[in-house]
Chain A
Amino acid sequence: MGKYQIHVSTENCTGCLRCQLSCSELYTKTFNPSQAMIVVDVWGADCSIRFTDECNECGVCVDQCFYDALQKTKREGDK
């Protein structure tokens, strides 16, 4: 269980992939959305956002979201 609980609002997502870019860069030192632990797919009016099993909920994806599609709250017990 990670430091944050991540909340998803798919209706706000534009498919900009800033979350995937930042996640992959943080963990692989390479901008490579195919290696990200968040996976976004926006096609027309529809959107899905999911996290891989490896995601540790660090929240870097949330920090890069400009559209309020991702938000985070600290888990209880974390300071």
Chain B
Amino acid sequence: MTMGGFAGNVLYVDLTHGEIKQEPLDTALAEKYIGGLGLTVKLAYDTIKPGTDALSPDNPIILGAGPLVGTDLPGTSRVFAVSKFPTSNTIGWCGGGGINFGYLLKNAGYDHVVIEGRADRPVFLKIFDSEVEICDASHLWGYGMEETCEALWEEFGRPMGVISIGQSGENLVKFSMAFIERLSTLGRGGFGAVMGSKNLKAVVVKGTQGIKVADRKRYKTLSRSILQRIRDYPLLKEIQDLGLVKSFPQLPVDVYKKVKKRRLACVSCPISDKDVVEIVDGEFKGLVRCSTSAVNLSMAMIYGFKDYRESFKCMSLLDEYGLDMFEFFGIMGFAKTLSHNGIIPKDQLETEINLGSLDSMKTWARMISFREGLGNILADGFNGVTEEFGEEAKRYAPTLVKGMHPYAGPGSAVPWDLYGTMELGQVLDPRGPHVGASGSPTYFARRPLDVFPGHLDRMGAPREAIERILPGLSNRDQEQELKVGRLLKYSHRWFTIMGSLGICARAQINRFYSASLCAELYETVTGIKTDLKGLNQRVDRVWTLFRMANLREGLDREFETAPEQWFQKPGFKDYLTEKPLTSQESEQMIEDYFNEWGWDSKTGIPISDELERLGLTDL
């Protein structure tokens, strides 16, 4: 078998000196770190100098797409970026449905791109097969995120993968994001600002070289089996029809059907979740919007918007500026409280803060994105506001995790109150609160425990680990328990398997994969010999290296403690018993998580035996 799956090269771009070079992918590294997220983490570890400021030229951006990206295995489009993030000041991953970007990057001949330095003028990076160029972007500077994408398509045509930022990224707003082809978000925690700090408006890519698999015959057998299971899935048509509205019915189905214009999918995905909608009546009649989902467009209603059309308009503006909606509404709520209590003087409020008003939010989104007036302070996020207004402001700060507003939990946008892996994971993912890495059966409220073993087996947890996660499961006389901290290890591991291969982590897709199937697919596509044990060892290496990268940055135990507000009334509840959770119980879960990884239970520092097992002793 020949090595398949990989494009075979890493592209290095130095924006400061305008230098571009390509190097062959180190196949030994690929074998050790799988690819995709795994290799992106490794390249980041090797490239980021400890203590680098997130918005300095020294902070690199590493992009990557895994070895399954570019094949037709379902949902294999994932694109990752790793960099140091300005909000959390940690090294974080960000990943999104790759739309066309991932497959085109691979078809251009690159598995990864390492972008360093800072251009002396606005630029975009153009990667068209072997023709790579740092291009002037002065005509795009000041454009919104989608406007930039459309302008680049107009200039160069499609198919072309585009990662672009809006005005908030240009102006280094700490909670700005980048978007992939104006649909997938990339970078809660300030990835947009990292691109902006490099004067990098966009990355565009076209590729025509193709991706081969090592063992075509075995590939066809495996692929056919997965696709048949998807075709046989009883909910397939309903999910295809409703997208994320099926799982998050905050937007009524009848409204969704009224506005739906088209469903959009990332390359290879048979279960699309992206939307094109059109408002068909009212003041915004005729507004057509492409979005990561109609559910996202209705998110302003969580914060007080009454009319879905106004919510669509508001969220469209936030997307266009490139603002993270959770942080935007969180910071506006904080500013309102500070103003109400006289900490922000009235004369600094150019306009009233009303979280339920489109006019008010439009004004503040603009002021933050362009750093006008008080918006200049709000643009620096919660830490920036408390630095400006002092200790008294801290008293009124909302619940924060790693300097960010957690998306789930008491006082947060999503008021889930059971403490499962998604909730605990907000504290234990080094990048801070994000929905991506911590999925597990606890994603669904109060699932019966007897469905857990099958799910955990699919995620690749060994039998002995399942017994640690669910003590008492096989003994009906013993009290049933669920060790959420231990379970979280396997959430992170499962996420790392999928991310490193390039498979979408969404439940709608990952339900058709298992860890053992992933090991088979890795071997079939790449030709690299492996089994489940070997794959698990590689992902343990990746996530442990990710931790080591952050420990090197000074990540300490205090930074990984759940906020006290989570345990005050009304606080989080135990997933199983629904009794109010205590901070001590949460701390025990964190120790369990460290212990399950083979890290020191108290400090979270990987122990030497584990580093030796993973071949990381040279760190």
Q: Which residues of chain B are near A18, meaning CB under 8 Å? A: 72, 268, 270
Q: Is the CB of A16 within 8 A of B272?
A: yes
Provide the bound-state CA to CA distance between A44 and B230, in Å: 26
Quote the shortest CB–CB distance from B46 to chain A (angstroms): 30
- Considering the complex, give the chain B residue whose CB is closest to the CB of A40: B159
With A and B bound together, what is the CA distance between A39 and B264 in angstroms?
16
Contacts of A31 in B (CB 8 A): 70-72, 103, 210-213
Distance between A31 CB and nearest chain B CB, rounded to angstroms? 5
Minimum Cβ distance to chain B for residue A41 (Å)? 6
Given A45-B261, A45-B278, A45-B288, A16-B208 contact (CB < 8 Å): no
Contact A14 B262 (CB under 8 A): yes
Q: How far is the CB of B224 from chain A (nearest CB, A)?
A: 10
Q: Which residues of B contact A25 (CB under 8 A)?
A: 72
Q: Which B residues are CB-close (under 8 A) to A34?
A: 107, 207-208, 210
Residue A51 at the chain B interface, CB threshold 8 Å: no
Please encode chain A, from 3 to 20, with 1 for each CB lying within 8 Å of some chain B CB and 0 for all others: 000000001011111100
Please, which residues of chain A bring their CB within 8 A of the CB of B266? 16
Asked if A29 is at the interface (CB within 8 A of a chain B CB), the reply is: yes
- Cβ B264 vs Cβ A15 within 8 A: yes
Interface string of B253-282 (1 = CB under 8 A from A): 000000001111111111110101010000
Q: Is B210 a contact partner of A28 (Cβ separation < 8 A)?
A: yes
Q: Decide if B209 touches A32 in the complex (CB within 8 Å).
A: yes
Interface positions, chain B 30-82, Cβ under 8 Å from A, are: 70-72
Query: Which residue, of A22, A29, A34, has the highest number of chain B Cβ atoms within 10 A?
Result: A34
Chain B residues positioned under 8 Å from A41 (CB to CB): 158-159
In chain B, positions 117-164 with a C-beta closer than 8 Å to chain A are 153, 158-159
A11 contact set on B, CB distance < 8 A: 262
Q: With a CB–CB cut-off of 8 A, which chain B residues contact A30?
A: 210-212
Q: Scoring A residues 24 to 56 as 1 if CB is less than 8 Å from chain B, else 0, what string do you get?
A: 110011111111000001111101000000000
Interchain CB contact under 8 A, B72 and A66: no
What size tier do the contact residues of chain A reach? 20 to 34
Chain B contributes a number of interface residues (CB within 8 A of A) equal to 38
Contact indicator A17/B268 (Cβ below 8 Å): yes
Q: How far is the CB of A52 from chain B (nearest CB, A)?
A: 15
B378 CB–A CB distance under 8 Å: no
Contact A66-B230, Cβ < 8 Å, known A31-B71, A31-B211, A43-B153: yes
Min CB–CB distance B367 → chain A (angstroms): 29
CA distance A30 to B268 in the complex (A): 15
Q: Is the CB of A14 within 8 A of B72?
A: no
- Whether the Cβ atoms of A43 and B158 lie closer than 8 Å is yes
The interface residues of chain A lying within 8 Å CB-to-CB of B271 are 66
- Tell me, rounded to whole Å, the shortest Cβ–Cβ distance linking A66 to chain B: 4
Shortest B471–chain A CB gap in Å is 42
User: Does B216 lie at the interface of the complex (its beta carbon under 8 Å from any beta carbon of A)?
Assistant: yes
Q: Tell me, yes or no, whether B290 is within 8 Å of chain A by CB.
A: yes
The answer to whether the Cβ of A71 comes within 8 Å of any Cβ in the partner chain is no
**A42 touching B267 in the complex, CB below 8 Å, given contacts A25-B72, A32-B211:** no
Any A CB within 8 A of the CB of B240? yes
Q: Point out the residues of chain A lying under 8 angstroms from B278, CB to CB.
A: 45
Q: How far is the CB of B229 from chain A (nearest CB, A)?
A: 13
| Residue picked from B236, B262, B266, B269, most chain A C-beta under 10 Å | B262
Chain A residue with minimal CB distance to B276? A45
Task: A11 to B153: give the CA distance in the assembly, Å.
Answer: 22
A14 near B267: Cβ-Cβ < 8 Å: no
Q: Is A67's CB under 8 angstroms from B240's CB?
A: yes
Min C-beta distance of A21 to chain B, whole Å: 4
The answer to whether B262 and A29 have CB atoms under 8 Å apart is no
How many angstroms from the CA of A47 to the CA of B262 in the assembled complex? 10
Residues on the B chain within 8 Å of A21, using CB: 71-72, 267-268
Complex CA–CA separation, A34 to B216 (angstroms): 20
- Are B290 and A16 in contact (CB-based, < 8 A)? no
Q: What is the CA–CA distance of A62 and B54 in the complex, to the nearest angstrom?
A: 47
Bound-complex Cα distance A75 to B268 (A): 29
Give bound CA distance, A21 to B158, whole Å.
16
B431, chain A: closest CB distance, angstroms: 29
Interface 0/1 of B191-231, CB less than 8 Å to A? 00000000000000001111111001000000000000011
B213 closest partner in A (C-beta)? A31
Contact A14 B263 (CB under 8 A): yes
> Using an 8 Å CB-CB cutoff, how does the interface string of B445-456 with A read, 1 for contact, 0 for none?
000000000000
Inter-chain contact B216/A16, CB cutoff 8 Å: no
Query: For residue B278, which residue of chain A has the nearest CB?
Result: A45
* Residues in A whose Cβ lies below 8 Å from that of B264: 14-15, 42
A34–B210 alpha-carbon span in the complex (Å): 8
Task: Choose among B71, B107, B270 the residue that contacts A16 (Cβ–Cβ < 8 A).
Answer: B270
- Chain B positions near chain A (C-beta within 8 angstroms): 70-72, 100, 103, 107, 153, 158-159, 207-213, 216, 230-231, 236, 240, 261-272, 274, 276, 278, 288, 290
- List 22 A-B pairs, Cβ < 8 Å: A14-B265, A16-B269, A17-B100, A18-B72, A18-B268, A18-B270, A21-B71, A25-B72, A31-B72, A31-B211, A33-B159, A35-B210, A41-B159, A42-B262, A44-B262, A44-B290, A47-B262, A64-B72, A66-B236, A66-B240, A66-B270, A67-B270
Other 10 A-B pairs with CB < 8 A, given A17-B100, A18-B270, A21-B72: A14-B274, A16-B267, A29-B216, A33-B103, A34-B107, A34-B208, A43-B158, A44-B288, A45-B288, A67-B240
